[in-house]
């Protein structure tokens, strides 16, 4: 029988730019794929639906769920970038930085 792990480890994570403490659950990067069977063949069409906002599947180590980009940006203040798989078989991959998405959404930070 393996030994019990009855201890806690505390980390002091700090944002590189502001120096603010980050909670452990802060998501720095997100992996998205189209929801509801949608297929995108270009980055331009993908971005248009991301800012519309349409739902995408967000894949995390804890599971998958549906969310939109504006909702995710509002909830996850530490988010740096979103990686999106697209194409007929999701064979293409692109990245959008938080700044790119906020600019497309017309949000000032």
Domain segments of the chain: what residues?
29-105
The pTM of this model reads 0.69
Strands of 63-67's sheet in order across: 63-67, 56-60, 29-34, 81-86, 92-97
18 φ/ψ angles, rounded to the nearest 5 degrees: -95, -25
Per-residue pLDDT of the chain (109 residues; tens, 9 = 90+): 343 333 333 334 444 556 555 444 556 888 999 999 999 999 999 999 999 999 999 887 778 899 999 998 888 888 889 999 999 999 999 999 999 999 999 987 6
How confident is the model at residue 18, as a pLDDT? 61
Q: What is the pLDDT of residue 10?
A: 34
CA distance 60 to 92: 19
């Amino acid at each position: 029988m393996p030994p019990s792990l009855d201890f806690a480890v505390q980390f002091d994570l700090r944002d590189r730019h502001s120096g603010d403490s980050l909670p452990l659950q802060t998501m720095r990067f997100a992996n998205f794929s189209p929801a509801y069977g949608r297929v995108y063949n270009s980055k331009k069409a993908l971005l248009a639906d991301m800012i519309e906002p349409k739902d995408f599947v967000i894949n995390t180590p804890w599971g998958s769920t549906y969310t939109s980009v504006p909702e995710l940006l509002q909830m996850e203040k530490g988010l740096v970038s979103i990686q999106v798989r697209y194409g007929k078989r999701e064979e293409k991959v692109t990245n959008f930085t938080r700044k790119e998405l906020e600019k497309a959404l017309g949000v000032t930070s």
